[in-house]
Structure 1
Amino acid sequence: MSAPLHLLTVDRRIVLMRRIRLFAAATITYNIVEAVAALWAGGVADSSALIGFGLDSVVEVASAVALSWQFSAKDPERREHLTLRIIAVSFFALAAFVAMDAIRSLTGGGEAQHSTPGIVIAALSLAIMPVLSYYQRRAGRELGSRTAVADSKQTLLCTYLSGVLLIGLVLNSTLGWWWADAGAALVIAAIAVREGLNAWRGDVCCNVPGADTTPHEVAPDDCCQSVEQPPRTFKAAAHRDQESNQP
């Protein structure tokens, strides 16, 4: 259970900010490898779903870099709005490219081939991404950071995409359903649009304790438990700590 932000000490907030930067670094490292592997495998197999998955990894890298940039500042809250915009635009670009490539495949632009490397990549991501997402979301909620929670949601999205990708690749490999690959790519594009809209509006997967939000900014999602806390900002919490330490 997350502690209310006003109960967090300055030292605890520093620890959480450092932890979020470490999670972002881990996400960047893994997704660079994943992006290169998925794009290569997608090109070899002419797989729209694999290419879309690889591009999603690129988006996740951009999101994690933006998050690292935000939390490298002394006052991360000042950079939160721009960081959410960067995440949103990345999602929209991903959705547009993947949708166009999937439509090209469905209209006779090429049938996806069997891809063992793609199946392995999807399975690995399905195992790794939920762990990264969980710990980053927990740290973000405790700190009251909408961008950290939004980035963790993007990492969780990678888990869903891995499942969709795995189903599409397996159906294509075992039953010869080449259109399942393009169908999986369209699902990936649709999810990316939804998450891009959420990030653009400043919506997150749940009510973030300590974040300065209004009720319409909370996305209707059950990935987190609702926690009723009064809106507080990093500055307000720090000011409260200073007041409590005064004699």
Structure 2
Amino acid sequence: MTAISLGPSPARREALARRIRLLVAVTITYNVVEAVAALAAGTLASSTALIGFGLDSIIEVSSAAAVAWQFSAREHAVREAREKTTLRIIALSFFVLAAYVTADAVRALTGTGEAERSVPGIVLAALSLAVMPFLSAAQRRSGRELGSASAVADSKQTLLCTYLSAVLLIGLLLNAALGWSWADPIAALVIAAIAAKEGRDAWQGRGCCAPVAPPRFGDAAAVSPAQNDCGCCSA
């Protein structure tokens, strides 16, 4: 009979929970600074994409705060009970971002606003593009090992910030180098589309599944986290 995987031990779960709390705290701190900088730069440059990026940072703070609330509980059972509520908060934050950025991008494309060049915005986007992938990967690994869909969903929020940083950087560079002001709202629409998709996934609880329960005594088939129905632990 092949050995049965019972998932992380209680001590390992607590270690992973502490790591997630630390990563969430770092994410919140960075995003508060990022939000202030992006909203200030976006307002000065009338940049829809930069303002959308700043709003995403605020929403990411709310998402991370929801995960922090979930993992503030010391008991594993309480954390599990808070999982669905946390996922709902994360999903709603994605939907709010998508709706606002879409409306503002359409406003810009219809000629009621034109983005100016923003060197601070370019620097901010490049910095976030360098920082966010590491935070996202670290939280995603911990969330997957722990079997926490909310921790993985929040890591997707952070990963989304990486994508947004790349899209934002391209749009700002095109506007700065070629004067293509329309690239800014187009970049914002891409941001909105990605946010809407991630919101749907979070609402449906996608991203990571709880570890599969071990088989009954005497079952011959082996069970491992990689065999769950979404395959989150196999990556």
Q: Is TM more than 0.5 here?
A: yes
The alpha-carbon distance between structure 1 residues 119 and 76, as it changes in their structure 2 partners (threshold 3 A), is same
2:214 equivalent to 1:199: no
CA contact (8 A) 2:149 2:210 kept: no
What code does the residue aligned with 1:227 have? A
Q: C-alpha distance in 2, partners of 1:211/1:118?
A: 45
Deviation at 1:197, TM superposition (A): 0.6
Counterpart secondary structure, 2:114: coil
Q: 2:101 maps to which residue?
A: 98
Q: C-alpha distance in 1, partners of 2:228/2:163?
A: 30
Q: 1:47 maps to which residue?
A: 47
What code does the residue aligned with 1:139 have? S
CA contact (8 A) 1:5 1:210 kept: no
Aligned-residue CA RMSD (Å): 1.8
Q: 1:133 maps to which residue?
A: 136
Q: Deviations over 1:127-146 (max 9, x none)?
A: 00000001100111111111
Which sections of structure 1, spanning at least 5 residues, go unmatched? Answer: 213-225, 232-247
Counterpart secondary structure, 2:6: helix
Q: C-alpha distance in 1, partners of 2:100/2:182?
A: 18
Q: C-alpha distance in 2, partners of 1:65/1:24?
A: 8
Q: Deviations over 1:24-58 (max 9, x none)?
A: 00000000000000000000000000000000001
Q: 1:153 maps to which residue?
A: 156
What code does the residue aligned with 2:227 have? E
Q: C-alpha distance in 2, partners of 1:5/1:147?
A: 22
Q: C-alpha distance in 2, partners of 1:86/1:230?
A: 24
2:211 equivalent to 1:210: yes
Q: 2:167 maps to which residue?
A: 164
Q: Deviations over 1:154-190 (max 9, x none)?
A: 1111101100000000000000000000100010011
Q: C-alpha distance in 2, partners of 1:8/1:153?
A: 22
CA contact (8 A) 2:209 2:229 kept: no
What code does the residue aligned with 1:128 have? V
Q: C-alpha distance in 1, partners of 2:41/2:52?
A: 11
2:120 equivalent to 1:121: no
Q: Deviations over 1:186-227 (max 9, x none)?
A: 1001111111111111111xx546168xxxxxxxxxxxxx92
The alpha-carbon distance between structure 1 residues 164 and 19, as it changes in their structure 2 partners (threshold 3 A), is same
Which sections of structure 2, spanning at least 5 residues, go unmatched? Answer: 214-224, 231-235
CA contact (8 A) 2:13 2:146 kept: yes
Mapping for residues 1-247 of structure 1, pairs under 5 Å: 6-73=6-73, 74=75, 75-204=78-207, 207-208=208-209, 210=211, 227-229=226-228
What code does the residue aligned with 2:108 have? S
- In the TM superposition, structure 1's runs of 4+ consecutive aligned residues that sit over 4 Å from their partners are none
Q: C-alpha distance in 1, partners of 2:199/2:34?
A: 21
Counterpart secondary structure, 1:178: coil
CA contact (8 A) 1:85 1:199 kept: yes
Q: C-alpha distance in 2, partners of 1:148/1:134?
A: 11
Counterpart secondary structure, 2:152: helix
The alpha-carbon distance between structure 1 residues 5 and 88, as it changes in their structure 2 partners (threshold 3 A), is farther
TM-score (norm 2): 0.87
TM-score (norm 1): 0.83
